[in-house]
Amino acid sequence: MLNKLKENDNLTIQMQAEIQNTNNLLNQSVINLNLANKHQIMRGDLTLKEMQNKWQVMNSSIDSIIQQMAQMSNRVVLTVRSNGGTFPSGAILPFKQVHTSKGIKDLISVKNEGKFKCEKSGFYLISAYVSTTTSSSGYYYIYKNNAYIAIGYRHQQSYGLTSTVIVTEQLQVNDTVYVKNGPEMYVYDGTQSVFSIIQIE
């Protein structure tokens, strides 16, 4: 009987140990599962953050493209033709006949003085060609504010001559651009003498 009790006690102790071991394994499994879930959640959070970052970058790129498109659609374009006539040395050549205008609110300076007044900062392609019957050699300038940025030369010949100047220049708001004569010369009007400005950036 005592042996039987001892066997039962041993069996109970053994079962308790197995139960404890099983509980320990179960607890460890729960801990491991919780850790795994936590890591998965953390990985999910990182993935979500990465996706949010990518969306932010993509939205920023889209906004940048939209802004660039808006800027491109609002770029300045101006073509004016000369009034023609004989102009003394140092005179501003009167390119006052507006042929094409886009992105410019105020054309008063062009129409009154033959000067383009910048309203939008950026890089501009500026060109002028001048036709003349003046027989002597000479030249004319493209001015930005009070300093010339390009010179067009003409050489002596017996009939009409067209000389062309093209220059790229960065302009700021309120900068003025115009064509100014060197020595006295006669300038053809209309399509024969033209001044153009195109904003390229």
Tell me what the mean pLDDT of segment 111-119 comes to. 91
Question: Can you give the pLDDT at residue 5?
Answer: 37
Closest CA to 121 of 177, 91, 166, 76: 76
Do the beta carbons of residue 87 and residue 93 sit within 8 Å?
yes
Cα Dmax for the chain: 144
Phi, psi of 196 (to 5 degrees): -130, 145
Amino acid at 153: Y
Tell me what the mean pLDDT of segment 105-122 comes to. 90
* pLDDT tens digits for range 48-104: 565 566 567 666 766 666 676 666 667 888 999 988 888 888 889 888 899 988 888
* CA distance linking residue 8 with residue 170, whole number of Å: 100
Name, in order, each residue with C-beta under 8 angstroms of 164's C-beta and a sequence gap of 6 or more.
Answer: 127, 128, 129, 152
SS3 139: strand
Give the DSSP letter of residue 159.
Answer: S
* pLDDT tens digits for range 171-200: 999 999 988 888 888 888 877 788 888 888
pTM, to two decimals: 0.61
* CA distance linking residue 6 with residue 4, whole number of Å: 5
Q: Is the pLDDT of residue 8 over 60?
A: no
Least confident range from 101-105, 111-115, 145-149, 150-154: namely: 150-154
